[in-house]
Structure 1
Amino acid sequence: MRTSEQPATLVGREAELDIVQRWAGLLSSRPAGLLIAGEAGIGKTSLWAVAVAAARQSGALVLTARPVEAELPMGYAGLGDLLARVVEPILAELPEPMARALSGALSLDAIIESGDPLLVGRATLAALRALAAHSPVVLAIDDVQWLDPASARGLAFVIRRLDDERIGLAASLRDGHADPLESVAALGDRLLRISPSGLSLGAIGRLLRSTDPDIPRRRIVRISERSGGNPFFALQLSSSVDDERLPSSLREMVGRQLAAAPAPAAPAIELAAVLGPLPLAAFEDSAALDAAVMAGVLAEQEQEIRFVHPLLAKGAYDRIPPGRRRALHHRAATLAEGIEARARHQALAAVGPSAETAALLDDAARAAGLRGAPEAAAELISYARRLTPVPDAEARAKRTMDFADYRFLAADEPGARALVDEILASDIHGTTRVRALVKRALFQIEPGPAVARLEEAVAEPHDDRELATRTLAQLAWQRGAWLGDVEPASGEALLALEMAEDLGDDATLVTALTTAGLVMSIAGRPGAADHFGRALAIMDRVPPAAGDHTPRLAFAHERWWRGEFVLAEKLMADERRRAEEHGDEGMLMRLNIFAGELALRRGQWDEAERLLDLALTDARDWWRINTLVRRAILRARRGDRASIADANEISGSPVAAHDPVVAAAGDFALGLIDRAEGRLGEAADRMARLPQLSDRAGSKGPEFAVLIPETVAVLVEADRISDAHGLTAQLERRRAQLEPWGAYAVELCEGLLAMAAGEPADAVERFALAIDGFERILAPWELGQSLYAHGSALRRIGRRLDAAASLERALRCFGDLRAEPAMRRAEEELRRARPRPRHDDTLTAAEARVAKLVSGGRTNREVAAQLFTTVATVEAHLTRIYSKLGIRSRTELARIVTDGSLPLRDQLDDPQDTQKTT
């Protein structure tokens, strides 16, 4: 069998070769991808080899990997092929956690520490950037569909984040398989694609004559028709001696070729089929290897012995009888270097349950997990589960739970959930059941069922004190921060803290202190800051915590709820430095969301939108929807109708279906748009729901309390005074929890209610307190709202100069935020308040009297009677009044007199003036 790597296979590929050269020319300036996709044997590898040569000729450092199907279970096998020969000098340039993770993933360290898959991806990106600083780098992967999942995840992470680095990609992909790197989506127009089709009859003729110049045209035509223009298939068909018995498919041809291999070649073919590509020294039977090479089944490529074509490898493995296959795996286990490969081959060699082999597989799975290869760990632990002796139900259940954990880490939540449910449906008890209940709680969208699972876990008898402490802390967190049942949650949090103190484990103590701090804060109890402070003091001595349970994040939330933005920002910056150092991509995504929310509170709205947009590139499910909530509100405050699309996605999500607070958040954004467009009633209906629903929704209460002042303003405008009082009382209950922001917000709301009650003087005092407070804590959105309300109140009591000054400041606040709807409201109010020439000076004394009486509701006849004049004279006065004031009706006249825009001197009691009217 001839190899498809012969240069002759490139006949008829002029257009494809032009694309390869164009791609190579881009490598020196920017990221450039090349994806060669087509059917087996069509010539992908030949074109890929040309691309590799072209990249090297252009001066690029080319890192190659040629994975095979047998390597799919081997975590980071592909990444090792790419980096192993170049990475060691680079490790010294990486932050220590990244260097440790990458070294562990590639098995370069004897001691392997925890390898977070995302940290491995980030370390890979840093290493490639360091290499690209010296010359362009190309990741060249043949048969990318066989790349192991751990390597694919790390490299996909890299490709998604390429900006202007000189890092390129050249990959071949077999039709019918997904691209594990998702290069089309990641690179967009920076990716060139080649889809080789079958060669023409003329090209097939040139190909066949390159190996057999005397081949008859009739035979060329027949081979071209049978091969469909596939060059590899055509070359193999040309070796057939019987035209009448040409195989009808490439797969049939592979089967015939393997069957035709001489018997002495079998040991070498079988060894390569079981172990994959091997160095020459691994073949002890040199005669068998020579026979396999002569038969065209195996070939030496890049100092390795491998099958001439991947289809031959699959066909050869499938042809090995089961007993012989197990014997080969047993031999392979003795040759394997690492624990993972040795355990995998022992599992495939096993004929039945084996406690010894299962224990080895446990250790191998743990090693794979520590390297950040959860898919490989999941496969190994699944073998261990299968080989567990039947009587040992507890061991099988524990391995089932480990299997679920690894599947969850490998982003297979449905698979993990099914395994957890299998445990919960059994009669297994103790620590394994507790682990399953805790994991099942994490899968719940609704807080009630999650808390119920955790309550069951806390009640389950077992003797693992650390697990018991962490489970109780998790229950307190979920009950208090999610369900909003803060009283029992407070007791649970404090009890978990006592248990952690007795346990003496720093990592568990940090978790308990963080939980107690947040739950105490939500409950409005003192001491939250002390708990957070203790956690921060010891957290650097323990491994990074997961999710929002990090003390810095929880403390940052508690501080910015209070309006202490500077400290919150420092805590977030410290957490970001830690996450970047450890390559914690999940945490960095969350930090972008939270930093966006903090920027929104601080009035840095452009930065907030940038951070939220950045988070949305990675956020999924619950995190995506909660990011959209923040962006929708930001956009709606600016009058941007793009917020409607965000709100609709929120409302239509499964998260909103299970969480009415999230659904109400989408409605709140729509309410802001309603208000901006003059639909006050609809705005009040939509906006009031969110703060009302979130009041007893755990951490959402203080989170959404920030929306109460603008909601109260809308309710007052819509004459929904009772609802406005209710929300103000809700905010008053949270005042201590939200100090100092809460105190200033209460003053703002009380001022709005005083305005509604016709007490503008009282309102002015309250608004002044709010302005002073919001200025002090640097909260420009609330400051703008307070200045706007203050200006309106000052205008009501006739202090027009002061009103205009306050409204001008409000307008500047809103302008800095680009909050267009609020700017329009402030401009309109400023037009009313800004002092201008007195209209009664423009009017004559008689006209002023008529204006005052008409604005008071008298008819023309009543005005004429009171002023001792005729109705016609009153009508003439009104005509001139309307003309001078630029109005057209008695209603408009009444409005501008009532709101102070047209102050009139009281002259009606002067008998001299009465005579003048006549």
Structure 2
Amino acid sequence: MVEAEERGVRVLQALPAESETGLSFSGIGDLLDPVLDEALAPLPAGQKRALSRALVHDDDEGPPPDPHAVGVAFLNALRALAENRPIIVAVDDVQWLDAASTGALAYAARRLRAEQVGLLLSRRVPLESMLLDELRRSLLAQRCRDVEVGPLDVGALHHVVQEHLGITLPRPLLAEVHEASGGNPFYALEIVRMLRRTGASVEAGQPLPVPESLHDLVHGRLLALPSESRDFLLAAAAHAHPTISITEAASGVGRDLGLTPAVDARVVELEGQRIRFTHPLLAAGAYETADPLRRTEVHGRLAELLENPEARAWQLAASVDQPDETVAAVLEDAASYASARGAPRPAALLLDRAGELTPADRLDDAHRRTVDAAYLHFESGDSPRAEAQLRDVIAKLPFGGMRARAIMRLARVRSYEMQREAVDLFLQAIEEAEGDREILAVAHEGVSACLFRLRERLEDAVEHAQLAARLGMELGDEALAAEALSSQVVAETLLGRATAAETAIRALELQDAAQHGRVLGQPLFVVTVRYWWTDELAEAHEALLHFLERARELGDESSLPYVLVILGQVEVAMGELEAALVRAVDGQEAAGQSGQNTLAAYHLALEGLVEAQRGRIERARAAAMSALELVPETGGRAAELVASRALGHLELSVGAPDAALAQLEPSVEFVRQEGIAEPSATPFVVDAVEALVELARREDAVELLDWFEGNARRLERASALANCLRCRGLLAAQAGELEDALEAYREALDWHA
């Protein structure tokens, strides 16, 4: 409606409510209220009197208005209003439009022909509307169009919550709200408001509660059913995949008494033997309206009936409320099962409950389960919950191995938020590890990975990675050794070391051991990044698309933003700017939902680079500046380099070489100071050379170009050499050596080919 009004269309809108169905002409009154004087003015006296009386616009006493006269008056009012500009008559919840308004609207709609009047009617399924039925019968088929509005998907729901409530839900919680609301935005907003107000959280084996604002709607519908049917529905709601036989056995209620009334009331429907609630909130309502003791009994019975270890564990989790190590151990095993099948969120919730049910005399087990649960929350994309949980348990632990393990996990979480803090945390874990080789290996690899992301102390990064790889192999943990070798590969590649290729081969030999772990820890992913830097773009692109799908298969939400940002940069190098922009936008959303501000900045920088290359000046500048604003709090060096590259390229393209150099020089000085020699990781150097040429700083341009070209020739980077030759052409042309310039340009084109 907003868009229609922006295009000059006048919108007449009615929002009838169920309580108003008996108020005659209330719908017509709503439609005409903002324009009533304008609508009445051109009407003949009789029509004006009929419409005024129908809308209680005057105090004249007399017989009720003639419905036919009101219909004629309404039709002519619409015709008059539509003479100057188009009109849309919009009725939301048309199933509750009063009968008198329904008659007048139907009369007018049947007689409208060439007038600029359209009707937009919405109806809640499965409720019926007399007006819609009448229009379908009386109008030609080509004049009516039915559009089924389905539920919002998770991405659209994210935008609704963000726009209306100003918050970004972690990806797994957003998915749970989507499931509980059935994709209905109104229900979703109410659920989120309830969660914020009460502090409720998702618990193992239990659905999200029904918001108070929806209690009357949901509970009223359920409480109208016989008690046996509600007991049957409790058993169905307590199980994720209820069947008739399991629900009968768990509830002790037969299908005739339990299922039939619920089906008749459209609370549930059948898909073969499977029972499905017609809306997820009805399942939540069936669960929470039941007596708590009865809920416990049903969960206990389901735990006896179900064979799947994970499904059985969910029931056990909800069937006990006192510490029980036997149950806690079953939940821990089920969490391992869930994690192995690529479901980190359910695994985390099961381990949370296992920690709660661990007896007080087994405190180490409780802490271990809590720490492992927190890291699974992180892997599922809920960084805020993971961080809060880890900080809480660290505060309770004394110096030593268990605390070191928790600190190590926290460092990994923080490495997606604040690199320097993460380095300090990994070093603290090393200090407290008390010789635990697994903690030492993971922490040393973590230091290496963070230094790589900072693009600092890369020599140290190589040493930490080498030590982590050696410890991993000593432990017989090839997956851990593979991740360490992967960190070594990227650091050596940035340094321009010839050993990087050999290290990559060693890492790939361990790919099988790492293929079921998180995507960013797999050697093939890191070698794919190396493909990008070594100009093997087609291979990099294909592999990254595979990893994008693989991360989704594994439920590895924490890896998605990084995969997307590398994929986007590969697509920039391939000239596929539209695709790269989609990656940048999707990546910002994924980073926001998983609480990864470092990656959010990186994706903003990518957006700025794409828009700069598309020539969209203001959008490029806004995105790049937003990225740079996030850099101080995240330490995201890659985001800083890409955003500065975008701004430098932008200034160069608008003929401002001095402004371009001001953006690019700090980046050039930094990479030279840190010994970064990989040309494909420093493409902004070429723009800096071009800016120096345009500013007539020939000696500076030649010196910088000699350094960059020396690395490009040593490492045989075709794209970098092509750019170097283009710069040589610029220098020759500036010196008046036109033949040399043309030859350099020809060579550059040959390298690009």
CA 1:461 to 1:803, structure 2 compared with 1: closer, same or farther past 3 Å? Answer: closer
CA 1:377 to 1:13, structure 2 compared with 1: closer, same or farther past 3 Å? Answer: farther
CA 1:727 to 1:332, structure 2 compared with 1: closer, same or farther past 3 Å? Answer: same
Q: Which amino acid aligns with 1:283?
A: E
Measure, in 2, the Cα distance between the counterparts of 1:503 and 1:518.
23
Q: Which amino acid aligns with 2:726?
A: G
Deviation at 1:179, TM superposition (A): 11
Q: What's the RMSD between the two structures over aligned residues?
A: 5.1
Q: State the match for 1:610 in structure 2.
A: 579
Q: State the match for 1:683 in structure 2.
A: 660
Q: Does 1:397 align with 2:393?
A: no
Of 527, 533, 551, the match for 2:499: 527
Residue aligned with 1:44, SS: coil
Q: Does 1:290 align with 2:277?
A: no
TM-score for the superposition, normalised by structure 1: 0.51
Q: State the match for 1:348 in structure 2.
A: 318
Measure, in 1, the Cα distance between the counterparts of 2:523 and 2:692.
38
Residue-by-residue CA offset, 1:416-451 (whole Å, 9 max, x unaligned): 110111122122555543442233223243332111
**What are the equivalent positions in structure 2 for 1:315-330 lying under 5 Å apart?**
317-330=287-300
Q: Which amino acid aligns with 2:470?
A: E
Measure, in 2, the Cα distance between the counterparts of 1:322 and 1:446.
44
Deviation at 1:630, TM superposition (A): 4.7
Q: State the match for 2:723 in structure 1.
A: 781
Would you say the 8 A contact 1:278–1:304 is kept in 2? yes
Q: State the match for 1:422 in structure 2.
A: 392
Deviation at 1:385, TM superposition (A): 1.6
Q: Which amino acid aligns with 2:622?
A: A
Measure, in 2, the Cα distance between the counterparts of 1:315 and 1:684.
63
Would you say the 8 A contact 1:447–1:483 is kept in 2? no
- Percent identity between matched residues is 23
Would you say the 8 A contact 1:473–1:496 is kept in 2? yes
Q: State the match for 1:492 in structure 2.
A: 464
Measure, in 2, the Cα distance between the counterparts of 1:348 and 1:520.
51
Q: State the match for 1:376 in structure 2.
A: 346
Would you say the 8 A contact 2:603–2:639 is kept in 1? no
Residue aligned with 2:361, SS: coil
**What are the equivalent positions in structure 2 for 1:897-908 lying under 5 Å apart?**
none
Residue aligned with 2:682, SS: helix
Measure, in 2, the Cα distance between the counterparts of 1:465 and 1:717.
56
Measure, in 1, the Cα distance between the counterparts of 2:125 and 2:338.
32
Q: State the match for 1:629 in structure 2.
A: 605
Q: Which amino acid aligns with 2:460?
A: P
Deviation at 1:456, TM superposition (A): 1.4
CA 1:274 to 1:556, structure 2 compared with 1: closer, same or farther past 3 Å? Answer: closer
Q: State the match for 2:734 in structure 1.
A: 792
Of 689, 698, 713, the match for 1:712: 689
**What are the equivalent positions in structure 2 for 1:534-573 lying under 5 Å apart?**
534-540=506-512, 542-543=514-515, 546-555=518-527, 557-558=529-530, 561=533, 564-566=534-536, 569-570=538-539, 573=542
Q: State the match for 1:860 in structure 2.
A: none
CA 1:599 to 1:252, structure 2 compared with 1: closer, same or farther past 3 Å? Answer: closer
Would you say the 8 A contact 1:297–1:307 is kept in 2? no
CA 1:317 to 1:593, structure 2 compared with 1: closer, same or farther past 3 Å? Answer: closer
Measure, in 2, the Cα distance between the counterparts of 1:479 and 1:428.
28
Q: Which amino acid aligns with 2:605?
A: V
Q: State the match for 2:125 in structure 1.
A: 44
Would you say the 8 A contact 2:355–2:366 is kept in 1? yes
**What are the equivalent positions in structure 2 for 1:799-838 lying under 5 Å apart?**
802=739, 805-806=742-743, 809=746
Q: Which amino acid aligns with 1:279?
A: I
Would you say the 8 A contact 1:691–1:701 is kept in 2? no
CA 1:299 to 1:494, structure 2 compared with 1: closer, same or farther past 3 Å? Answer: closer
Q: State the match for 2:188 in structure 1.
A: 177
Q: Which amino acid aligns with 2:351?
A: I
Deviation at 1:666, TM superposition (A): 2.9
Would you say the 8 A contact 1:486–1:519 is kept in 2? yes
Of 624, 637, 646, the match for 1:647: 624
Of 429, 434, 455, the match for 2:427: 455
Q: Which amino acid aligns with 1:718?
A: L
Which gives a bigger RCO, structure 1 or 2 (Cα 8 Å, sep 6+)?
Answer: 1
Measure, in 2, the Cα distance between the counterparts of 1:336 and 1:383.
19
Q: Which amino acid aligns with 1:413?
A: S
Residue-by-residue CA offset, 1:272-306 (whole Å, 9 max, x unaligned): 56558541574365679638967988988425678
Residue-by-residue CA offset, 1:296-322 (whole Å, 9 max, x unaligned): 889884256788997776566445444
Would you say the 8 A contact 1:381–1:399 is kept in 2? yes
Would you say the 8 A contact 1:497–1:513 is kept in 2? yes
Deviation at 1:356, TM superposition (A): 0.9
Q: State the match for 1:206 in structure 2.
A: none
Residue-by-residue CA offset, 1:381-403 (whole Å, 9 max, x unaligned): 22212111123221111111122
Would you say the 8 A contact 2:494–2:677 is kept in 1? no
Measure, in 2, the Cα distance between the counterparts of 1:252 and 1:576.
46
Would you say the 8 A contact 1:596–1:612 is kept in 2? yes
Residue-by-residue CA offset, 1:816-868 (whole Å, 9 max, x unaligned): 99xxxxxxxxxxxxxxxxxxxxxxxxxxxxxxxxxxxxxxxxxxxxxxxxxxx
Residue-by-residue CA offset, 1:398-419 (whole Å, 9 max, x unaligned): 1111221222233211111101
TM-score for the superposition, normalised by structure 2: 0.61
CA 1:460 to 1:283, structure 2 compared with 1: closer, same or farther past 3 Å? Answer: same
Of 279, 283, 298, the match for 2:244: 279
Q: Does 1:669 align with 2:646?
A: yes
Measure, in 1, the Cα distance between the counterparts of 2:353 and 2:97.
46
What are the ranges of 5 or more consecutive residues in structure 1 without an aligned counterpart? 1-8, 16-35, 51-65, 68-78, 80-116, 118-148, 158-169, 181-232, 234-247, 743-773, 818-918
Measure, in 1, the Cα distance between the counterparts of 2:713 and 2:463.
24
CA 1:251 to 1:299, structure 2 compared with 1: closer, same or farther past 3 Å? Answer: closer
Q: State the match for 1:881 in structure 2.
A: none
Measure, in 1, the Cα distance between the counterparts of 2:306 and 2:475.
42
Would you say the 8 A contact 2:490–2:530 is kept in 1? yes
CA 1:430 to 1:701, structure 2 compared with 1: closer, same or farther past 3 Å? Answer: farther
Q: State the match for 2:454 in structure 1.
A: 482
Residue aligned with 1:283, SS: helix
